[in-house]
Structure 1
Amino acid sequence: MSYLRFEKAMMTNLEEVLPRELLRTNRSGAYSCSTIVDCNTRKYHGLLVVPVPELDDDNHVLLSSLDATVIQHGAEFNLGLHKYQGNHYSPTGHKYIREFDCDKVPTTLYRVGGVMLKKEVVFQHYEDRILIRYTLVDAHSATKLRIRPFLAFRSVKEFTHENSVASREYHNVDNGICTCMYAGYPELYMQFSKKNDFVFMPYWYRGVEYPKEQERGYASNEDLYVPGYFEMDIKKGESVLFAASTSEVKTRSLKTLFEKEVEERSPRDNFFHCLVNAAHQFHFRKGKDDRYILAGYPWFKCRARDTFIALPGLTLAIEEQNYFELVMKTAERGLREFMEGRPSTVKIYEIEQPDVPLWAIWAIQQYAKDVGEEKCISNYGTLVRDIIEFVMAGKHPNLTLEENGLLRTEGREKAVTWMNSADNGKPIVPRTGFIVEFNLLWYNALKFAAKLAGISNDTEYVARLEEHAEKTRRSFLDTFLNDCGYLFDYVDGNMMDWSVRPNMIFAAAFDYSPLDRAQKKSVIDICTRELLTPKGLRSLSPKSGGYNPMYVGPHSQRDYAYHQGTAWPWLGGFYMEACLKLYRMTRLSFIERQMVGYEDEMFFNCLGTIPEMSDGNPPFHARGAMSFAMNVAEILRTLKMLEKYTYK
């Protein structure tokens, strides 16, 4: 039986299926996403959503959805599903679904009387092209298939409404048409593998509603343009291929192209393979040589901090060192351009954030553990040294190495850490001064750089680094360790943040830490008692002031909950690493039980991946972005660590 498979009883229950989403990507920034019954519930949903760099830096929904209608004896059975204002659904094609399977490619089986129609969908790698194969599995009389496309041609951040500017023009192409609603957009090609009749019948479907936007306090309805419909005969056992793309395709090649794409897909037949599939969805190729990691879907771009935190888990943990090196090659160029004050030639955002170079060293450290120090020195030894010297020389605009060996940063006016929610531009969590994870990263970087220098027999440099590290260690303990057995989150002059936050977990998870074993144990114990949930670590303890665990309501309300109690799976990954390092085999069963909470996510929300965060209180509802790179990465890295300890 398939791992991700749902029967008729669930597929016909809208309360059960509408929260379940499905994401497909092309590894070049475009994606296709909807619910598993093809009813769009977000403005970010769409069958073909692509970047249009000529317009802006956002993705754009070209083809919103596609309704298929089965026709027999003149009777029409529309398999589509749309939500309209007033909680009205029309048509109600979900009632014909017999089963849904998401093993290799998403497959939906419909039954209408004696007709059984199978639909399979893939997104072609590195092309802005969605492919759908309709197969008439069974039919007892002549059958027609009618396909009606719903067009949007708008940014994922906006809505489209009926207007007189939208172009109704179209051109015939090989077994289909191409059309473009607005100037500046690419043409949309809609083609089939066999001849068909296109009936031009332009119409605006008004008041399509997106409940997820209602939940988030945004406008939630739009109008979609349908230029007409395609109609063709289909025989029992026959397959008809549909392609929607920004470029024309030779329709006689569609069958081969679809089969090739299916062959390249890895099965999602267990927890691990789902995560591997999700990891590949964050791949982003731009141009011939540049490789990136997208921070998440559907609204995140390539962010520097997310790239370096996620990179080891998304690549090394699944034996894909080559992609680590490709991404790091692009990222290193961006880092060097920033450190040397040159214009950036890479599309990585927030590379100026003060902890980004230190997370880069942490990522390289994981690479060294995977491939060996010698190869690491050959590939990245110079970069590690250059970052250390860049920080020591005080060249970063917002990172100062103080006399006590600690790093200071200014975060009162602008958020500079991963806890970056803001209200009117001002940080909601104004972490400033000496920040705990910045200095843990710095100590870890100094010790790792010293180790690499020792392998290279650079004894003078080793001595210098060790001296700096020892000064940092002593000052860290004096500054951050409090009498309650945990670490201050940040210290700014006489102001010490006593809030219990998860950023101290890195002190027990990193390979090099200023803390001794007893101090690490105390940190882990506090995190276990006050921060641990089945979905990761809370961003704030329920015992601390300002605890706000429910990420719901309008934008401003959600901003105040974003880092004030919500649970983050990627932090749970570092927590589990800390447990394994400190307790080793005795915590294996505990960690395995923790992983159950993450495996549950495979079947809810966005199938086969991990959402951005969850509420900090039961029942820990998933919130935010449907798929988040750092979360997938850290769970994959934890699985690899578990394997090492299990077979040790």
Structure 2
Amino acid sequence: MDRLDLCLSVSAPDRLGEREWMIANGLAGYASGRLDGTVSRRHDGLLVAALPVSGRTILLDRVEETVIPADGAPPFALFDALVEVRLERGLPVWRFARDGLELERRVVMPWRQNTTLLSHRLLAGGADIGLDIRPWMHFRGNDGPADQPLYPSVLSWQQGGRIEVTQGTFPPLRLAVRAAACSLILGDERTESAFYPIEAERDYTAHGPVWSPGRFALRLGAEGAELIASAEPWGAALAQNADAAWAAETGRRDRLIAHAVPAVRDPVGRQLVVAADAFLFEPRGRFDLAARSLAQGNEVRSVIAGYPWFNDWGRDTMIALEGLTLVTGRPDEARRILLTFAAYERDGLIPNNIPDGGTEGVYHAADASLWFFHALDRYLVATGDDETLDLILPVVRRSLDAHRAGTRFGIGVDPADGLLRQGAEGYMLTWMDSATPRRGKAVEINALWYNALTVMAGWLDTVGDGDGAAQAQVEAARLRESFNRRFWNPHTGFLFDLIDGEAGDDPACRCNQLLALSLPHPVLEPAHWAAVLDVVERRLLTPFGLRSLDPAAPDYRPSYAGDLHARDFAYHRGTVWAWLIGPFVDAWLKVHPGDRAGARRVLSGLAGHLDDFCVGTIAEVFDGDSPHRPRGCTAQAWSVAETLRAWANSAP
């Protein structure tokens, strides 16, 4: 079966309850929940709207659906009759059957609209049946505590049986139904305590209030019925019925697949292309940036680092850019993302992240700007777009000069050896940014700095700046000599993770060393490539990516679980990161040229994971020890992007 139309077993209900679904709307809004119809996270909701000021906001937490058979049989909860869940072009479809009745349920979000359409259809069972839908809501930011007090609710009528609900200062939630017959039973208000089991597992507040204004009592005939939930004006909210919205969205996804490079049009590749689309978004709330960009003929674009709680992060965006946009045949989106982040450059740095609902960046990262050089290089290699190079060249010139002279957070070149150092008290500046201090000269930072100097030399030569190109080449050569002399550890046979650190040189076996050979311009001498790849494969490779630390290390943590402190400590001390499979495949193909079959084998675990956890996408992290349980964000941009890029590069 085509993986975009996969069916999932419901023979083990407990296992089904562990799996989740998520769809996005191109604005960073989304809908998500468990496949068994429940919600498990405080972030879940049937409509999590991306609003200009408040950011992502849960407007419709969930619905409660009850079937009333026409023959007088007892009513039953819809999900008690679940027999099948499937994805159609990545969109969720549920099928239910009981006592001769057969029903279908679908959820779709029209692209770039804060609207969710929930549709039901009677597939078999003869006469019309009743269907009660009770909406539950608690307006709050998607990452806010579950136990925030409910704001007083204001309910207003609209023509045609539509209602608007407002809580606090949030924009209204508009609810409407389309059905052969419908009545709104208001005044049947309820407030209950909802339980979010994943929050309990993560040691967060797991109970919180939800409120319902009443219920919609529908007659469900052959033509079906639908509930529309929207933060858009009524005209936009009601612009399409559910069937039209479904056809539009599946057609759009089919076109995405058609535009992707041929190497990813196989079943796994197609699913990854659709998964990649969820992370590209238009940040409409950044009015100042949007106004300046539109005046220049550009459109603002960015990348959500992970659903359901991350916003857009500089390093994640630049690592993911090639897989999300170039492998998928969307170079215009890549250009817009690069120009968007170029507009945020300050003191030679691009932002570490841009807070949800905000317009100003946060800059505490030593690697985000260096990954920007890499992302721009991949874009230019793919497109030959000299016009965009002209637009961005002043930005990367400033960045290069700032790194040479020294900029914020102790980021700068050490004049003694030409290596790049970083460190400021209270900040974790590398991608290992959670309770993992690495102040000093980190191995991947210097690999990225060498790559940046090398590509910059080529760009400067292209625009006729021979002196600038020559200077960058000299600096790169000095860096390469220092790197190979200082980072190679002859006692272990692999690279130091950090040198000149607060505790001296760190000999830990970590995944970061792989970037010294995997980047397009590797700083590591080829004589050491095989040794580094071998130790990474033996000690760090798992079916779902690379461990962040050797299991033999005293600080190794086999599981990313427990409260926030325990998770932060484990985050980069053994936890498996899926995105690192991309650099591993790059390194594999450099050490074993032409062995695409060997590279493809290491991707099999992640290909199988697409049917697990949050179906159709790839998790942020996995436990270090088998069975490598998926953890963290249910859908992570660089996990999907680097798996997709590696899948393309390892195609037969």
Q: TM-score, normalised by structure 1?
A: 0.89
2:71 corresponds to = 73
Q: State the SS of the aligned residue for 1:499.
A: coil
1:239-388 map, 5 Å? 239-250=224-235, 251=238, 253-255=240-242, 256-266=244-254, 270-287=267-284, 289-335=299-345, 347=359, 349-372=361-384, 374=386, 377-378=389-390, 380-388=392-400
Are 2:430 and 1:417 aligned? Answer: yes
Amino acid of the structure 1 residue aligned with 2:38: C
Amino acid of the structure 2 residue aligned with 1:301: N
Choose from 133, 150, 172 the match for 2:119: 133
Amino acid of the structure 1 residue aligned with 2:525: D
1:424 corresponds to = none
1:19 corresponds to = 18
- Greater shift in the superposed pair: 522-531 or 202-211: 202-211
- Aligned mates of 1:438, 1:61 — CA distance in 2: 38
1:215 corresponds to = 201
Are 2:184 and 1:198 aligned? Answer: yes
Choose from 79, 84, 93 the match for 1:99: 84
1:4 deviates by: 6.0
Distance change (3 Å), C-alpha of 1:340 and 1:157: closer
- Aligned mates of 1:238, 1:562 — CA distance in 2: 50
Are 2:608 and 1:613 aligned? Answer: no
Equivalenced residues, count: 617
1:64 corresponds to = 61
2:342/2:350 contact within 8 Å kept: no
1:5/1:100 contact within 8 Å kept: no
Q: Which runs of 5+ in 2 are unaligned?
A: 258-264, 285-289, 291-298
1:211 deviates by: 1.5
- Aligned mates of 1:142, 1:534 — CA distance in 2: 49
1:622-633 map, 5 Å? 622-633=630-641
Q: Which runs of 5+ in 1 are unaligned?
A: 80-92, 422-427
- Aligned mates of 1:510, 1:162 — CA distance in 2: 46
1:202/1:225 contact within 8 Å kept: no
1:333 deviates by: 0.5
2:51/2:57 contact within 8 Å kept: yes
Q: State the SS of the aligned residue for 2:139.
A: strand
2:261 corresponds to = none
1:360-509 map, 5 Å? 360-372=372-384, 374=386, 377-378=389-390, 380-403=392-415, 404-421=417-434, 428-483=435-490, 484-492=492-500, 495-509=504-518
Q: State the SS of the aligned residue for 2:610.
A: helix
1:70 deviates by: 2.1
1:286 deviates by: 2.0
1:118/1:135 contact within 8 Å kept: yes
- Aligned mates of 1:163, 1:449 — CA distance in 2: 53
Q: State the SS of the aligned residue for 1:609.
A: coil
1:192/1:243 contact within 8 Å kept: yes
- Aligned mates of 1:218, 1:163 — CA distance in 2: 16
Q: State the SS of the aligned residue for 2:550.
A: coil
Distance change (3 Å), C-alpha of 1:398 and 1:144: same
2:350/2:363 contact within 8 Å kept: no
- Aligned mates of 2:278, 2:155 — CA distance in 1: 35
1:32/1:48 contact within 8 Å kept: yes
1:639 corresponds to = 647
Distance change (3 Å), C-alpha of 1:156 and 1:12: farther
Q: TM-score, normalised by structure 2?
A: 0.89
1:381 deviates by: 4.0
1:253 deviates by: 4.1
Cα deviation digits, residues 224-272 of structure 1 (max 9, x gap): 212111112232x212222101134354742544543343233899221
Q: State the SS of the aligned residue for 2:153.
A: coil
Are 2:564 and 1:547 aligned? Answer: no
- Aligned mates of 1:519, 1:102 — CA distance in 2: 45
Amino acid of the structure 2 residue aligned with 1:77: P
- Aligned mates of 2:134, 2:319 — CA distance in 1: 43
1:37 corresponds to = 36
Q: State the SS of the aligned residue for 1:106.
A: strand
Amino acid of the structure 2 residue aligned with 1:318: T
- Greater shift in the superposed pair: 451-460 or 401-410: 451-460
2:260 corresponds to = none
2:366/2:411 contact within 8 Å kept: yes
Distance change (3 Å), C-alpha of 1:233 and 1:162: farther
- Aligned mates of 2:151, 2:504 — CA distance in 1: 58
Distance change (3 Å), C-alpha of 1:73 and 1:223: farther
1:38-57 map, 5 Å? 38-54=37-53, 56-57=54-55
1:89 corresponds to = none
Amino acid of the structure 1 residue aligned with 2:3: Y
2:163/2:176 contact within 8 Å kept: yes
Q: State the SS of the aligned residue for 1:417.
A: coil
2:150/2:210 contact within 8 Å kept: no
Distance change (3 Å), C-alpha of 1:594 and 1:161: closer
- Aligned mates of 1:613, 1:543 — CA distance in 2: 20
Q: State the SS of the aligned residue for 2:495.
A: coil
Amino acid of the structure 2 residue aligned with 1:420: D
1:122 deviates by: 0.4
Cα deviation digits, residues 608-633 of structure 1 (max 9, x gap): 11100111111111111101111111
1:168/1:202 contact within 8 Å kept: no
Q: State the SS of the aligned residue for 2:602.
A: helix
Q: State the SS of the aligned residue for 1:169.
A: strand
Q: State the SS of the aligned residue for 1:491.
A: strand
2:152/2:168 contact within 8 Å kept: no
Distance change (3 Å), C-alpha of 1:151 and 1:43: same
Distance change (3 Å), C-alpha of 1:394 and 1:168: closer
- Greater shift in the superposed pair: 11-20 or 262-271: 262-271
What is the root-mean-square deviation of aligned Cα atoms in Å? 2.6
1:419 deviates by: 0.6
Q: State the SS of the aligned residue for 1:388.
A: helix
1:27 deviates by: 1.1
Amino acid of the structure 2 residue aligned with 1:567: V
